[in-house]
Amino acid sequence: MRGQLVIGCYNAGEWNRTAHMLARAIEREPGFSPLYSSLAQMNNVVHFVQPGMFRDDSHVGRTLALAQRAVALDPRDSRAQLCLGWALAFCRRYSQAELHMEIACDLNSSDSWTLMSSAAFHAYNGDTGRALKQVMTSLELTLVPTLTHWQYLTNIRFLHGDYEGTIAAADRAQDGLVTILACGRRHCAIWAEPRRRNGMSPAFTPASAPPGLARPPRRRRKSAAGCCIFIRSAAPGCGSGCATASR
């Protein structure tokens, strides 16, 4: 629960402490799937949370191994399937990613967050119509949408070209807006590259958006922890890489 709270809030100051906590928990309970999916979830977004942290092939591969381990331990855990979908997306294996997004929604069709997160995937993948349908269902399933809900909705409407709706969602997204729009711009670049390579038009290009939205204002912040998160070799009984913090 503590890990999910930190992940949902994009709290850089608590990030490394949570990574240590989850790595120790895996050493104690190597057969508990949510520990692996939580670490995979953290590694999927660490480069957005920790300034100066960049993804590389090794990072992507080990994150995928964590997500695959989570699904192997509990294939009926919708959160594990969702994390595996995002890990595959970051590996640019979009067809496989879409399959696991669908499995996650089938397993837990009444979970607002599963629908919102997978909707973001579909938006980045160019199917904004499908994304918006899932968004409507997601919002109907929660009495009080979280700030993260509004942050994701901001991106989805932005990708759809609904700029008035983007502004309305951004007003509710509050402090997480700059981070989430930065995530969106990088996701768009990741998605567009292989589509161009295969002779397809990119699903979205940031240059097509109004200048005020395409380039969100930069805001400098000093991380309370002042360090980044890395993936180290497997702890005893893990069967795959675990995340830890390092200065």
The upper half-sphere exposure of residue 121, i.e. CA atoms within 13 Å in the direction of its Cβ, equals 29
Burial 103-139 (b: 16+ CB within 10 A, else e): bbbebbeebbbbbbbbbbbbbbbbbbeebbebbeebb
Query: What pLDDT, on the 0 to 100 scale, is given for residue 206?
Result: 42
My answer on whether 102 and 126 are in the same domain is no
Q: Are residues 129 and 200 located together in one domain of the fold?
A: yes
List of residues 6+ apart from 5 with CB closer than 8 A: none
Residue 187 has what pLDDT?
52
**Nearest alpha-carbon partner for 117 in 187, 216, 12, 193:** 187
Are 161 and 94 members of one domain? no
> What's residue 204's pLDDT?
46
Task: Enumerate residue ranges in the chain where pLDDT < 70.
Answer: 1-12, 175-247
Do both 119 and 197 map to the same domain?
yes
Same-domain check for residues 118 and 211: yes
Separation CA 139–CA 116 (nearest Å):
8
Give yes or no: residues 132 and 183 share one domain.
Answer: yes
Sign of CA dihedral 123, 125, 126, 127: negative
174 and 130, same structural domain? yes
**Structural domain of 194:** 110-220
CATH code at position 95: 1.25.40.10
Question: Is residue 193 domain-shared with residue 227, that is, in the same domain?
Answer: no
Q: Tens digits of per-residue pLDDT, 35-80?
A: 999 999 888 888 777 777 777 788 889 899 999 999 999 999 999 9
Structural domain count, the chain: 2
pLDDT digits (tens, 9 = 90+) for 86-102: 999 999 999 999 999 99
| Predicted model pTM | 0.71
Residues 62 and 162 in one domain: no
